[in-house]
Amino acid sequence: MSTEKVYEMPIIDVTPEQMSKRVARHAELKYPPDRYPDSLIPGHVRKNYLVVGTGLIVDGGKEPMSAIPISEGFQMSYVTATPGNGPMLHNHDTNETFVAIKGQWRVIWGLGDKYHVDLNELDVCSVPPFVPRRFINLTTGEGREEGLLLTVQPGNVAKVEFV
């Protein structure tokens, strides 16, 4: 009688070299200033760092925009902005979850900025698919010039439409 454990899921071996391609160092993150068409418009200025996901390709296709360019069913980004800034009202075909990391952020939803909720640090708001949304930084957090927001979306590439 064998006492060897039988697993229901496969087990793979990942080398440190392979894993190093799946590590994002904050100090090395990059963002394209024109990733979104509203990113440079006053009141909407922000930096959007795609950390995990496929996203767009920058530098003529030589370098992935994402720090960890994988297609495993979700995207994760950091957004930094000074108070009063955030994207224009837009809609996604996916859920979008926001986590206020540094500072206070307002998540706004509905046509005409109908509703909003303010998030303090480490608060979370999850907006369903097809609900127009936007967010703005209200405060930066102590000793900072910009607030920091984490966003997570399911799927490898979310569709976006500005409203």
Average pLDDT, integer, range 115-130: 98
Domains parsed from the chain with CATH numbers: 32-162 (2.60.120.10)
pTM of the entire structure?
0.88
Token pair of 3, please?
């006492």
Which band of pLDDT confidence, cut at 50, 70 and 90, is reported for residue 11? very high
Q: Mean pLDDT, the chain, as a whole number?
A: 91
Average pLDDT, integer, range 112-133: 97
Phi, psi of 18 (to 5 degrees): -65, -40
pLDDT value at position 58? Answer: 47
